[in-house]
Amino acid sequence: MPSSLHNRVVDAVGTPIVDGRMPAGTVMLADHIALDQGVSRSVVREAVRVLAAMGLVESIKRVGIRVRPQSGWNAFDPTLIRWRLAGPERGAQLRSLTELRASVEPMAAELAAAHCPQAMSGELMTVAAQMRTVGRSGDLERFLTLDIHFHRLVLHGSGNEMFAKLDEVIAAVLSGRTGLGLMPEKPHETALQWHVDVADAVQGGHPVQARESMELIMRRTIAEVEDSWDDTPRLFFSAAE
């Protein structure tokens, strides 16, 4: 099965669900999707499996493929995050991800300073130095690659496997922020230095300093992007099972 066909069907069905054009309760038929997209039913079945894993749809025998309410979506799926960042829920998604980062990454930095293997902390220091050089040059594409790698190293360096599993989520929001033009033309010198400070504290085994430096990064990040979610209502789902 050509992956391009599979990905196209996933995007074609998933995007209108996420942006609200196909609300919860909408029922689709596999035959209609296959005809509309010009693909075989096997391609549609595989695409539906992917969408079901995201929590977007459910297949109901003798009914069809039904769109699920947002409360059932897998909010941590990187593809779902990408769709939300590109749609009308951009502000809500960016706010949720930024608040998640601000909660998790300072603790991850603290843990990394206490537990990170030497080879990983050395790599973190190298990446931080490269970020400062590339950031000053204004090459945002290369800077994004380094920034994603830096934060991935911090998460993995914490030794907390659940933090580590957030690496693709963090990568999605970093990519989305750059793609949406929410990064300054050149990263601020202070922010570049804070990344170096985090790496230095991790390598030197100073948990408090690592946490504090990461908190500074997160606070500046919030200040730079919070205008994008002004007046965006928060999402509240029922806590009942």
Tens place of pLDDT per residue across the chain (241 aa):
456 888 999 999 999 999 999 999 999 999 999 999 999 999 999 999 999 999 999 999 999 999 999 999 999 999 999 999 989 999 999 999 999 999 999 999 999 999 999 999 999 999 999 999 999 998 989 999 999 999 999 999 999 999 999 999 999 889 888 877 777 778 899 999 999 999 999 999 999 999 999 999 999 999 988 988 988 999 898 776 5
Please report which residue ranges of 116-188 form alpha helices under DSSP H.
118-137, 140-157, 161-164, 167-179
Q: DSSP letter string over 175-187?
A: HHHHHTT-S-SS-
240: helix, strand or coil: coil
CATH of 3-72, one of 2.60.120.10, 1.10.3210.10, 3.20.20.70, 1.10.10.10: 1.10.10.10
CB 218 within 8 A of CB 110: no
**Share of the chain residues as helix, strand and coil, in percent rounded to the nearest 5:** 70, 5, 25
CB 238 within 8 A of CB 71: yes
pTM: 0.90
Structure tokens at 116: 């990170």
Amino acid of residue 142: R
Domain boundaries, the chain: 3-72, 86-229
Q: Which residues pair with 28 in a beta bridge?
A: 65
Quote the CA–CA distance of 153 and 116 in Å, as a whole number.
9
Quote the CA–CA distance of 163 and 177 in Å, as a whole number.
21
The CATH number of 86-229 is 1.20.120.530
CB 168 within 8 A of CB 149: no
